[in-house]
Amino acid sequence: MTEASKDTKGGGAIARHRYLEVLHQFTMSQASLTAVDDICWNIAKTAIGDLGFVDCVVYLLNDERSALTQRAAHGDKNPGDRQILDPIVIPVGEGIVGSVAKSGQLQLVNDTRYDPRYILDDNFRCSELAVPILHDGRVVGVLDSEHPEPHFSPRKTSLCLRPLLRWHRRV
């Protein structure tokens, strides 16, 4: 076994351990929350922020299920405690986030410069990951994370977010 492969295997074990720590911390804190805004901010800060993402916005569907509103953020969209900089509303079916709300399917866009659905919010970013937030199998929102570099979010990372985004008896 080469030194490089030892480092890769060790790095993978460290990454898995870190993910499990974050998942445990998130699950423990989420279990005590009942307010929707508390749940959203916990997703943005405890789960996403602690996993090392530079940006994320938690969107929830409005009561009519026709549009998504920004309810929590991590990164540049969050200038202070529970503040969202210039919040936007996205109609269901529009943009990458609206498409995920409509389809219920995760979307990983490696280079937003080539995707006409991209909606510019606070800053332009080259890659975008949008993951549906589910409650009893039904889409209730979307977690959206962007990165300035193209091809940033590997599929493996996006799949590890799915368990974090299933709400039961909460929404």
Decide if 22 contacts 46 (C-beta within 8 A): yes
Domain housing 87: 3-167
For residue 106, what is the domain's CATH number? 3.30.450.40
Residue in this structure with the two tokens 């995920």, named with its chain if needed: 100
Q: How many domains would you assign to the chain?
A: 1
Q: How far apart are CA 103 and CA 5, in angstroms?
A: 39
The torsion angle over the Cα atoms of residues 158, 46, 49 and 157, rounded to 10 degrees, is -20
Give φ, ψ of 155 to 5 degrees: -55, -40
Per-residue model confidence as pLDDT tens for the chain (171 residues): 434 444 445 566 776 776 677 666 767 766 777 888 998 998 888 767 667 678 889 999 999 999 999 999 999 999 999 999 999 999 999 999 999 999 999 998 999 999 999 999 988 999 998 989 888 889 999 999 888 889 876 555 555 565 555 554 444
